[in-house]
Amino acid sequence: MRTTATWTSALAVALFRPHECAPAEPGTQMAPIEAVALAATDLPERVAIELLPGADTGAAALDTADIIVSGGRGLRSADELDLVRDLADALGGTVGVSLPLVDMGWAPRAMQVGQTGTVVSPRLYIACGISGQIQHKIGIEKSGLIVAINTDKDAPIMSFCDLGIVGDLRTLLPKLAAEVRAARTA
């Protein structure tokens, strides 16, 4: 996709989500890009900067991760996110979450996978207790293999995943993590 943009002021900022734009072909004429060092003292007075605790936790890892294990609303408590972490650890992957877990305060926004979070393209994406609403689907559709674990066989994610497992994540995740660890030591 190609677009033309015009700015009405001397200062312009363009932001692009990772993996959304393919790199330009070698030899393609591109607009000049200038990196500008900007100190907080250079900003107008009306701009407020607020650093949120944990805001950068996991963001860099999600957009470059080869394996992502994400938890969603199917988790009953913040403590159950440890089940997702354990499987991700066994696989050597990264932990992600869906928007509801961020909204409930169980995880920082930087861990959110989806259209309004981080758009990802891992080789393996495992969705644990995630219904698969359109915003989440858009964020994971470039993944290689999508595995969904959900108690609802009719959840939207079951219609677009590569492998759907109907079952309780509280039972399945510990068993999967144990099997992965056993296979790695064999």
Q: What is the CATH number of domain 65-185?
A: 3.40.50.1220
pLDDT score recorded for residue 28: 72
What does the pLDDT average to over 95-121? 93
Q: What pLDDT is attached to residue 42?
A: 58
> Distance (Å, rounded) from C-alpha 147 to C-alpha 135?
17
Q: Is the pLDDT of residue 55 over 50?
A: no
What does pTM read for this prediction?
A: 0.70
Give mean pLDDT, residues 110-124: 93
Question: H helices within the chain, ranges in order?
Answer: 59-64, 81-91, 99-103, 134-140, 169-185
Reading across the β-sheet that carries 124-128, which strands appear in turn?
A: 94-97, 67-71, 124-128, 145-150, 163-166
What is the average pLDDT across 147-153?
96
The pLDDT value recorded for residue 150 is 96
- The residue extents of the domains of the chain are 65-185
* Residue 54 pLDDT class (50, 70, 90 cuts): very low
In angstroms, rounded to a whole number, what is the distance separating the alpha carbons of residues 63 and 14? Answer: 19
Q: Is 124 exposed, middle or buried (0-12, 13-18, 19+ CB in 10 A)?
A: middle
Query: Does 52 have pLDDT greater than 50?
Result: no
The pLDDT assigned to 122 comes to: 95
Strand partners, 184: none
Least confident span in 24-33, 99-108, 159-168, 173-182: 24-33
User: Contact, 118 vs 139, CB < 8 A?
Assistant: yes
CA pair distance 70, 114, nearest whole angstrom: 11
CA distance 105 to 73: 12
> Strand pairing partners for 125?
68, 146
Q: What is the mean pLDDT of residues 113-137?
A: 94
Mean pLDDT, the chain, rounded, equals: 83
Pair 169, 184: CB distance under 8 Å = no
What stretch of H or E contains 71?
strand 67-71
**What is the token pair recorded at 116?**
């309004």
End-to-end CA separation in angstroms for the chain: 47
Average pLDDT rounded to a whole number, residues 160-180: 94
Say yes or no to pLDDT of 50 above 80: no
Helix (H, G, I), strand (E, B) or coil at 54: coil
> Rounded mean pLDDT of 138-158?
95
